[in-house]
Amino acid sequence: MFLKENISLAVAGLKANKIRAFLTMLGIIIGIGSVIAIVSIGDAVTANVSDIMSSLGANNIYVYVAPTDNNYGQSNNSNKIDDNDLLTMDQIERVQTKFADEISDVSVSESAGSGKAKNGHLYANISIEGANPGCGDLDDVDLKTGRFLKGRDIDGHRRVAVVSDKLVSSIFGNSADPLGKKINVDTDNGVESFTIVGVYQYKQQGVGGNLGVAEKDIRTTMYIPITVAKETAENQNYYEFEIKLKNVNDTRSLTSKIEAYMKQFYIHNTKYTCVVRNMENELSSFTSMLNTISLAIAAIAAIALLVGGIGVMNIMLVSVTERTREIGTRKALGARSSYIRMQFIVESIIICVIGGIIGILLGIGLAALGVSLLKLKFVLSVPIIFISVGFSMLIGIFFGYYPAKKASQLDPIEALRYE
């Protein structure tokens, strides 16, 4: 009953001074709204980056050639790296055979530059990538029709290509069957003709996607046999390859074993060595860094909560001064100091909780707008909402206690004489 009466008195006081009450809440609203918006957008970015890295193979193993410590920084001089210092296809296949129980597939690729795929006056921008059959699996190529590259395409140096559905719609139209059709590819090496054997679903990559790029100018990947790409490459051997694992529990241990095996190929090479890495640790570190940045920015935004709390205390002190005679009357009628103190604390809590609720709604709205502009999936942190409400109540208690205590200590005789 006592609490219900205090809530009624607090609500009546807020209704009597609506503008002042709203201005008092403003700091709380801005602070909580900013914290929720920043944390939610940060969570959305983190989730998006994690999804992208997972799709790129965050749990895969990467093997690449790198300069030795005593040769670091010298690989970019006028003497280009020799084929003898690179990985041969035979060495890559030996790794796959050695760890056949742990390895699901191996991806070997070679960038063949960029250009335009043309069909008459229609065109589509492409990045050309020489690939082996394993690239389809490791690159998570989602085929809509046709097939990916086969071993016979690689061995026979066949002029075949796997293209995106975006390329097909750009140069053939949505209703056409592209399989078996030829496209002319205009590159720095001239014009080559390829036969389409497969079409994959284009997936937008990166935070924000292709902002500012016209739909027809979006560049997609065209996969061709790696042996065809190697025909114009400077080196015939390979800088790197990627390994997709089966259900392996201890990725770190397997990474170490593969690295020890690969280094045998470079035991007599003083300039280069073979490095084996997995992105599990890098993904964890990157996610942790993003979370730290989000929390740091949220902590800065939370300063507005401190300012809002000071504003609540200031207004409550003004309220105590304005209601001095009321307090004196209540105490003269027998109201205890604890009752007076609780009345003002409840009023402070109500101000902060209402401001917190408005701030939560504002924060969710800002977060939804932010992730929409960035073209991300909306991620709402439920714990941060409960924390915000709880923090609002704590602010009300903390900054409302001093004015409430001051009101409860007023002498009733002096308070009744107050003008």
The token duo for 411 is 């002498």
**Sign of the torsion formed by the C-alpha atoms of 27, 29, 30 and 34:** positive
pLDDT given for residue 342 in this prediction: 77
Let me know how long the chain is.
Answer: 419
Q: Which of 86, 148, 133 is nearest to 244 (CA)?
A: 133
Side chain identity, residue 89: M
Q: Which of 402, 307, 321 is nearest to 34 (CA)?
A: 307
Residue with tokens 């395409």: 153
Buried b (16+ CB within 10 A) or exposed e, 236-259: ebbebbbbbbeebeebeebbeebb
**Sign of the torsion formed by the C-alpha atoms of 120, 159, 89 and 235:** negative
HSE-CB for 288 with a 13 A CA cutoff: 6
122-131 and 220-225 beta bridge pairing: parallel
Cα Rg of the chain, angstroms: 33
pLDDT given for residue 78 in this prediction: 42
Query: Dihedral angle at the C-alpha atoms of 98, 68, 61, 200, nearest 10 degrees?
Result: -110
User: Tens digit of pLDDT for each residue in 315-370?
Assistant: 777 777 766 677 677 777 777 777 777 777 777 788 888 888 888 899 899 988 98
How many whole angstroms from its chain centre is CA 55?
13
Residues 6 or more apart whose CB falls under 8 angstroms from that of 179 comprise 145, 146, 196, 197, 198, 199
User: Tens digit of pLDDT for each residue in 273-325?
Assistant: 999 988 766 667 777 777 777 777 767 766 766 777 777 777 777 777 766 67
Side chain identity, residue 403: P
Cα 152 from Cα 166, distance rounded (Å): 27
pLDDT given for residue 77 in this prediction: 45
Cα 239 from Cα 262, distance rounded (Å): 13
Question: Are 276 and 263 within 8 A, CB to CB?
Answer: no
Give the chain's count of helices (H) and strands (E): 14, 11
Cα 409 from Cα 402, distance rounded (Å): 11
For 146, phi then psi, to 5°, come to: 80, -150
Residues 6 or more apart whose CB falls under 8 angstroms from that of 369 comprise none
Q: Which of 61, 64, 56 is nearest to 237 (CA)?
A: 64
Cα 77 from Cα 336, distance rounded (Å): 87
Residues of the chain where predicted confidence (pLDDT) is lower than 50: 1, 72, 75-78, 207-208, 211-212
Cα 381 from Cα 368, distance rounded (Å): 12
pLDDT given for residue 301 in this prediction: 66
Question: Are 38 and 402 within 8 A, CB to CB?
Answer: no
Question: Are 348 and 403 within 8 A, CB to CB?
Answer: yes
Question: Are 87 and 238 within 8 A, CB to CB?
Answer: yes
Query: What ranges do the domains of the chain cover?
Result: 2-52+286-417, 61-278
